[in-house]
Structure 1
């Protein structure tokens, strides 16, 4: 196996790591390509353990990107949401358990933004890739004790903030179907019945398309916001339901272009959060994962 083939064998795992670190498929692909250039610059046979070597190089490339991304996101117009990725084809690894699905949900990826870059690396390597604390220390060039502390602190932040998600994917799909039907019909009572009291809706337009620039909070306000949105959509948008970021999501297509993505967060009280991505830059990767859909009527 030559160098290029060796790297390609690791590419899916590397992309999965980079996406969890960065919350952006586009940036993840760029980081993986940068890792390839580092790999290409080595002599054949120089790297004894390619997998760990590539993971360390890629993690450090992501740490550098996260540092600059923070400054950019402070200037972002409106709420910032991760770039969605279709996951039923294995793009982000297995999605067999609730934990695996939750780890790439938009809600968790947003919470990960609150961590420091090293904390984020520690929790991704430990939870998603089963690295030992000793291995994490080797990747981050710190002591094992420090790696443990980074992981413990990160998990505490996530536990403090995390909402309770539904463990059943079927429940999410069933609620999504009912939610879409009520919103499309403008059935306010049925729509409000699906929403938790303090439900929050976030819209990411990035200043490029129309979107709410502040979170919409509360059952009545969110219901009105969604009913108004779907009223405008009814004759212009074709709806698709697919799996992305580990859960059933809704896609909106206009004139063959993917223009909207919506994901629900579900808790014991009903729908607790709604995340809408409308920034066209963040929908390109997902659209390219859906061959044929953009061409259908």
Structure 2
């Protein structure tokens, strides 16, 4: 009899219903992780923020029974949404007026807490973001997840619907595509003082139209790219090699417009860079890619498109 009672008791044992996800708590915990993936994938602050917002909004109404590993689930959602957008954005960029550069990410003030210090230390440099534009969307996804976030190939494969072997091949191909530029960027770890000194020398040389000083600052194979997006007139084509870049930087046409600005330092993508001010607002941003070992400049990126300057604030 006791056995039957126990059997009946087990059959009618209460099983609690899965509880709803605490989306607000998940957002606070994983929003920086989600944004970091999206921004590296897209090169756009605005689009990355939209992707993150849509991702967490889609979690409302779901229960704990749906998601066993929230971080992995959110990462997968973000990556695949970014891939869908990138595949469509590639077509849009074919019709972009002039050269397309990533949207710089500004920080309004320097670090105040240990958490902020970690976040800024892990921020992707602007030059690194430019480099990622050379990869296909799938190469970019695998490379970012493996290189920046150190996810296992098995997890990456599950997120992207590919085999581990295939993901390893994609990662190797991506590194080969970046083989010339990647080592220099990985070693470009000059301290702030050095970077600020180079920024100061560049500013002085540019504003004084000092060709000799500019000549000393540039490496042998520098790059100059400007992005006006068809909204603001600027140099339309990327200039390469020493002679071409120097000609642009000492051109009266370029100098006349930029020399009239108020040049201020700004903290952009984790590094000191330059914000140019006109009538109290940021009108242009100059991001330098530096050769840390020789304290010289590999690349000059001029962002003029006002739609890409929303997060930039000069430092006081």
Q: What's the counterpart of residue 55 of structure 2? A: 35
Q: Give the secondary-structure state (helix, strand or coil) at the position aligned to 2:102.
A: coil
Aligned residue among 169, 176, 188 for 1:149: 169
Q: Give the secondary-structure state (helix, strand or coil) at the position aligned to 2:267.
A: strand
1:76 correspondence with 2:96: yes
Paired residues in the alignment total 284
**1:79–1:204 Cα contact (<8 Å) kept:** yes
The alpha-carbon deviation at position 36 of structure 1 amounts to: 1.3
Alignment of 1:7-22 (within 5 A): 7-22=27-42
Aligned residue among 280, 304, 311 for 1:278: 304
Aligned residue among 112, 119, 127 for 2:147: 127
Tell me the distance in 2 between the aligned counterparts of 1:39 and 1:123.
Answer: 27
Alignment of 1:97-108 (within 5 A): 100=122, 104-108=124-128
TM-score normalized by the length of structure 2: 0.82
> Please, which runs of 5 or more residues in structure 2 have no aligned partner?
1-20
CA RMSD of aligned residues (A): 2.4
Q: What's the counterpart of residue 248 of structure 2? A: 225
Worse-superposed segment, 66-75 or 223-232 = 223-232
Aligned residue among 119, 136, 144 for 1:116: 136
Tell me the distance in 2 between the aligned counterparts of 1:26 and 1:185.
Answer: 36
**2:102–2:130 Cα contact (<8 Å) kept:** yes
Aligned residue among 189, 193, 217 for 1:167: 189
Q: What's the counterpart of residue 230 of structure 2? A: 207
Residues 54 and 226 (structure 1 numbering): CA distance in 2 closer, same or farther, change over 3 Å?
Answer: same
> Please, which runs of 5 or more residues in structure 1 have no aligned partner?
none
1:249 correspondence with 2:273: yes
1:237 correspondence with 2:266: no
Q: Give the secondary-structure state (helix, strand or coil) at the position aligned to 2:263.
A: strand
The alpha-carbon deviation at position 224 of structure 1 amounts to: 4.1
The alpha-carbon deviation at position 41 of structure 1 amounts to: 4.2
**1:164–1:266 Cα contact (<8 Å) kept:** no
Tell me the distance in 1 between the aligned counterparts of 2:280 and 2:297.
Answer: 29
The alpha-carbon deviation at position 232 of structure 1 amounts to: 3.1
The alpha-carbon deviation at position 221 of structure 1 amounts to: 4.0
* CA offset digits 1:68-99 (Å, max 9, x no partner): 11111111111110000125657896454xxx
**2:23–2:56 Cα contact (<8 Å) kept:** no
Tell me the distance in 1 between the aligned counterparts of 2:169 and 2:162.
Answer: 11
TM-score normalized by the length of structure 1: 0.87
The higher radius of gyration belongs to 2
Q: What's the counterpart of residue 8 of structure 2? A: none
**1:10–1:51 Cα contact (<8 Å) kept:** yes
Tell me the distance in 1 between the aligned counterparts of 2:91 and 2:58.
Answer: 26
**1:253–1:260 Cα contact (<8 Å) kept:** yes
